Amino acid sequence: MSLLDLARTGDGAAFEELVAPHRRELLVHCYRSLGSMHDAEDVLQEVLMSAWRGLDRFDGLSLRAWLYRIATNRCLNHRRDESRRPQPAFNLSHGSTSPVFSEADDPWWLEPYPDALLEPVALGPEAVYEAGESIALSFVAGLQQLPVHQRMVLVLRDVLGFPANEAAEILGTTTASVNSALVRARAGFRPTGNPDRVRRPRSVHEATVVDRFVEALQRGDVADVLGLLSDDARLSMPPEPVQCKGPAAVVNFLQQRQFWGPHLTLLPTRANGHPAFVYYLPDPTEHVSRASGVIVLTVADGTVSTLTRFGGRDTIARFGLPLTLPRHDDDHQSDA
């Protein structure tokens, strides 16, 4: 008896084995569509529950396409329900004179996707974007600006490479409708930040730039940090719907938020195909440093062009790094 036949008899273990090869790519699909790991994880559970309950309706041909149809429609429904979105944690009316904030390009519900959860996804022959660039933060953020139907068409056609007729079947519409929506989506798609940076491959010098940047931050070396930031450097901090632009404004913000100096501890990781760090700040009441957030960097042309800061315990926990570390200044104090 096949796994499908066993699953249809109510065998939960067989169902889990049947869908296991598709779990991670479905999670990425939900994340691209929604921009939020929290939402993507919730929707994926809905998708798998719906598939489990609806196995009798599966025609037995392409399990992957059938699961994508369920996931796409769940994402469509979820995105239309704006009440599920978190509320911004910051308002421009709060004001700040240094640095000067502007309205963020990134959607305030954007969350990072740990590279450790990524795995190669089979792309169709009609895919326009490479897998790496289609998970970049600026790419995912730009998708969120599209009308929901256009976004799903762009993902199915240009990211996953489904032929127009298969995309139409997944969406429950016509090929003509898919082709029309794709034209509009391509015309309206604007990755956030500098769109020219989205499609650039990972530089062989990336690690060197990142190491120099981290060392300059920990030294508190203003000149070196400024020299490593691009002229159009931008820092955003979802869910706060604001950003600061320009090297001087970015440095000012980093200093104000204590993301600066020898007390700062950074553990490297990767998110959305970018270099990233979980950063730790000293706890004033205990002899530990606590994980305070994740910062994701975009490196291009030998400079850091974008810094995106994310907070929240759940976000940090997804990267599998410790939540506390011994204080760096303990040794110095004991030697005094």
Answering whether pTM is above 0.95, one says no
Q: 111 pLDDT exceeds 50?
A: yes
Average pLDDT, the chain: 87
Reported CATH class of domain 206-335: alpha beta
What is the 3-state secondary structure of the chain? CCHHHHHHCCCHHHHHHHHHHHHHHHHHHHHHHHCCHHHHHHHHHHHHHHHHHCHHHCCCCCHHHHHHHHHHHHHHHHHHCHHHCCCCCCCHHHCCCCCCCEECCCCCCCCCCEHHHCCCCCCCCCCCCCCCHHHCHHHHHHHCCCCHHHHHHHHHHHHCCCCHHHHHHHHCCCHHHHHHHHHHHHHHCCCCCCHHHCCCCCCCCHHHHHHHHHHHHHHCCHHHHHHHEEEEEEEEECCEEEEEECHHHHHHHHHHCCCCCCCCEEEEEEECCEEEEEEEEECCCCCEEEEEEEEEEEEECCEEEEEEEECCHHHHHCCCCCCEEECCHHHHHHHC
Listed in order, the ranges of the chain carrying CATH 3.10.450.50 are: 206-335
What's the rounded mean pLDDT across residues 308-323? Answer: 94
* CATH topology for the 1-85 domain: Rna Polymerase Sigma Factor; Chain: A (1.10.1740)
The fraction of the chain above a pLDDT of 90, given in percent, is 68
What's the rounded mean pLDDT across residues 194-205? Answer: 55
pLDDT tens digits, one per residue of 222-269: 999 999 999 999 999 999 888 999 999 999 999 888 889 999 999 999
Q: 19 pLDDT exceeds 60?
A: yes
**What pLDDT was estimated at residue 94?**
45
Listed in order, the ranges of the chain carrying CATH 1.10.1740.10 are: 1-85
**What pLDDT was estimated at residue 104?**
83
pLDDT tens digits, one per residue of 37-92: 999 999 999 999 999 999 999 998 899 999 999 999 999 998 776 555 555 555 54
